[in-house]
Amino acid sequence: MSAVAARVRAPSRPAPLGRLVAVELRKAVDTRSGFWLLATIGLLSLLSLAVMTVVHSSGERSMGDLFEVALTVPSLLLPIVGILLVTDEFAHRTALTTFSLVPDRRRVVAAKLLAALALAVLVTAACLALTALAVIVGKAAGLEGISWSIGARHFGGQILHNLLSVAMGFGFGLLLLSTPLAIVLYFLVPMAWSFAVTEVKFLSKVEDWLDTGAAWSPLLDADGSVHWGHVVAAAALWIAVPITAGLIRLQRTEIK
Amino acid sequence: MSIEAEALTKRYGDHVAVEAVSFRCEPGTVTGFLGPNGAGKSTTLRMLCGLTPPTAGRATVGGRPYAAIPQPGREVGVLLDASAHHPGRRGREVLELTARTLGVSRRRVRKMLEYVGLAGAAASRRVGGYSLGMRQRLGIANALIGDPRALVLDEPANGLDPEGIHWLRGVLREFADRGGTVLLSSHLLGEVEAIADRLLIINAGRLIAEGSASEMLSGSGTLVRAADGAALKQALDRGGLSWTNGADGAVHVQAETAAVGRAAAEAGVALVELRALERGRLEDLFLRLTHADDGRGAGR
């Protein structure tokens, strides 16, 4: 039998990061649950787009407006994709295989984070393509009020917002290493924080800086102005801190 | 490429999981790591693979710590838990992921699926529907896919039927005959007996015996005990009988009870105990060890 065939020399360098990112991207779609999560995101996006294009047939609907509608569901659910990319490995203990193949845990985390960000970009781009399709169909069907108008800033803001939220989900997943806990806290903690900063006086001063809603939602507004200091500060608190803490925890933890 | 542990120790607070375990597995051998459940086998194997940081000591594969190997899957095949799979992933896909990570060809995936008997419809099924035996086969394919020179397998025979165990023995024998090094664990004497040619026995975190399987398992021997142990051993030496120290001052002799009794009588040594060991000292030892393990330790 030739299972142990002529041997090639073992590689002297770790697997390139690009290869690991490709593997992680594949892991996000090659399970039944992963596939259906992404398929559901696509279908719901398509459905809301169709409703907005056809049924809501009065008033102005620029491509920018439709794009916003197409992204409503994806931006809500993409963070869950980011969470699952990490927590699934611990829920099903596939981490045993992952980390025995790549012992440098930082490389695995980097690959997973890059895969999550790539997914956010891909999904946003797919939504843009769907929106363009909706405009074409709408115009061909002679629907009133549909126009090709969309600003580059609008598109960029949406992509950035999705990147930020998927990275935040990823950070929660990495820190908590548990799917239900990470999903619940991902939605609950920022809400509680928002409540706290609006209700507690001395916290209200930091609201614009450290509240993801207040700091990041201007990105979604086609006309509003974005305070980049706020964007970065909120990203530091809600993305950089969980990822750093999660990485430290992962480096010390025993993979069982 | 040898697998080596030097005074490997793992403590969790006051609990000692593994205490100063040292061994060396050489190329061309299949070593069985035998011990009751909870003896520290899995912890030791995880320490070997860099997944559990040891409290003290060190482990190396081919002279290097596992984590220092650039692409360990190309040099050490690892199977730590056959059940650890995403249930919604197809069997073939599990191997594809590993093949991609290691940069080996897709042809290798097909080849390994055939090698472990999972080609065809089984490969397209989701792992959630696999039996434990199928998962073991998939795990072994996954460990072999990078064409490694050493294998570390935790309970690979668990869930295999007798035919499967026979198959596994063939796979590992062939691997070792090509100069590979195999370390596999089991809590069942019957399993390792069928597969391994060297044995490491661990109990309560400590290595308590090691040696060649045939020596430890085959032939009948005699257990003898005397009030004056030193005199007994002198008597055995004089009688030309080879012996080893057993537990609790007992002496194991590679001879029939009659020969041992004669040697003792000639030297005038009073015996406390003299009995034949049916299957040599190993099984006797192992059965006593695993007695608390609700009897499952006894070979099937």
The HSE-up count of residue B246 (CA atoms within 13 Å, CB side) is: 26
B106 touches chain A (CB under 8 A): no
How crowded is residue A187: how many other Cβ atoms within 10 Å of its Cβ? 15
Nearest by CB to residue B147, choosing from A4, A12, A31, is A4
The answer to whether position A235 is within a domain reads yes
Print the SS3 string covering chain B.
Answer: CCEEEEEEEEEECCEEEEEEEEEEECCCCEEEEECCCCCCHHHHHHHHCCCCCCCEEEEEECCECHHHCCCHHHCEEEECCCCCCCCCEEHHHHHHHHHHHHCCCHHHHHHHHHHCCCCCHHHHCEHHHCCHHHHHHHHHHHHHCCCCCEEEECCCCCCCCHHHHHHHHHHHHHHHHCCCEEEEEECCHHHHHHHCCEEEEEECCEEEEEEEHHHHHCCCEEEEEECCHHHHHHHHHHCCCCEEECHHHCEEECCCHHHHHHHHHHHCCCEEEEEEECCHHHHHHHHHHHCCCCCCCCCC
Pairing of strands B30-34, B181-186: parallel
Is there a contact between A242 and B38 (Cβ–Cβ < 8 Å)? no
Contact assignment for B78 to A20 by CB distance below 8 Å: no
Pick from A214-228, B124-138, B268-282 the range whose average pLDDT is largest: B124-138
Question: Residue A24 falls within a domain, yes or no?
Answer: yes
B110 touches chain A (CB under 8 A): no
- The whole-angstrom separation of Cα A86 and Cα A109 is 8
**Highest mean pLDDT (candidates A6-10, A204-208, B188-192):** B188-192
Give the lowest-confidence range in A10-14, B148-152, B231-235: A10-14
Is the pLDDT reported for residue A28 higher than 60? yes
pLDDT at site A196:
85
Mean pLDDT across B281-292: 64
What is the average per-residue pLDDT within A12-21? 95
Residue A12, domain member (yes or no): no
Query: Does A9 fall in a domain?
Result: no
Q: Range with the lowest mean pLDDT among A35-39, A201-205, B135-139?
A: A201-205
Q: What is the mean pLDDT of residues A226-250?
A: 94
Range of the domain at A211: 17-252
CA distance A29 to A23: 10
Measure Cα distances from A1 to A90, A137, B77, B113 in Å: 36, 59, 18, 13
Predicted pLDDT of residue A194: 84
**Tally of domains in chain A:** 1
pLDDT tens readout for residues A239-256: 999 999 999 999 999 999
Whole-prediction pTM value?
A: 0.85
Query: Of A40-49, B22-31, B115-124, B283-292, where does mean pLDDT reach its minimum?
Result: B283-292
Residue A5 lies in a domain: no
What CATH number belongs to B220-278?
3.30.70.100
Flag whether A23 is in a domain.
yes
pLDDT in tens, B229-267: 899 999 999 988 888 877 677 888 888 888 899 999 999
CB-CB under 8 Å, A254 with B52 = yes
What is the band of B80 on the pLDDT scale with cuts at 50, 70, 90? very high
pLDDT band at B279; cut points 50, 70, 90: low
Residues 25-84 of chain B whose Cβ lies under 8 A from any Cβ of chain A? 46, 49-53, 66-67, 69-75, 78, 80-81, 83-84
What is the ipTM for the molecules in this complex?
0.90
Q: Does A99 touch chain B (CB under 8 A)?
A: yes
Q: State pLDDT tens for residues B180-198.
A: 999 999 998 888 888 898 9
- pLDDT band of residue B34 (cuts 50, 70, 90) is very high
Does residue A2 lie in a domain region?
no
If 0-12 CB within 10 Å is exposed, 13-18 middle and 19+ buried, where does residue A58 land? exposed
Question: pLDDT tens, A77-127?
Answer: 999 999 999 999 999 999 999 999 999 999 999 999 999 999 999 999 999
Q: Do B100 and A22 touch (CB under 8 A)?
A: yes
Mean pLDDT computed over B52-73 = 96
- Residues in chain B with CB shorter than 8 Å from the CB of A97 are 78, 80, 84, 98, 142
Check pLDDT > 70 for residue A1: no
Determine the average pLDDT of the residues in B105-134: 96
Instruction: Over range B149-175, report the average pLDDT.
Output: 95
End-to-end CA distance of chain A: 34
pLDDT at A99: 97
- Number of Cβ within a 10 Å radius of residue B291: 12
Q: Does B180 touch chain A (CB under 8 A)?
A: yes
Quick one: B3-215 is in which CATH superfamily?
P-loop containing nucleotide triphosphate hydrolases (3.40.50.300)
Q: pLDDT tens for residues A115-132? A: 999 999 999 999 999 999
Domain boundaries along the sequence of chain B: 3-215, 220-278
Give the chain A residue whose CA is nearest to the CA of B116. Answer: A3
Share of chain B above pLDDT 90, in %: 73
Sequence-distant (≥ 6) Cβ neighbours of residue A163 within 8 angstroms: A117, A120, A121
Would you say residue A2 has pLDDT above 60?
no
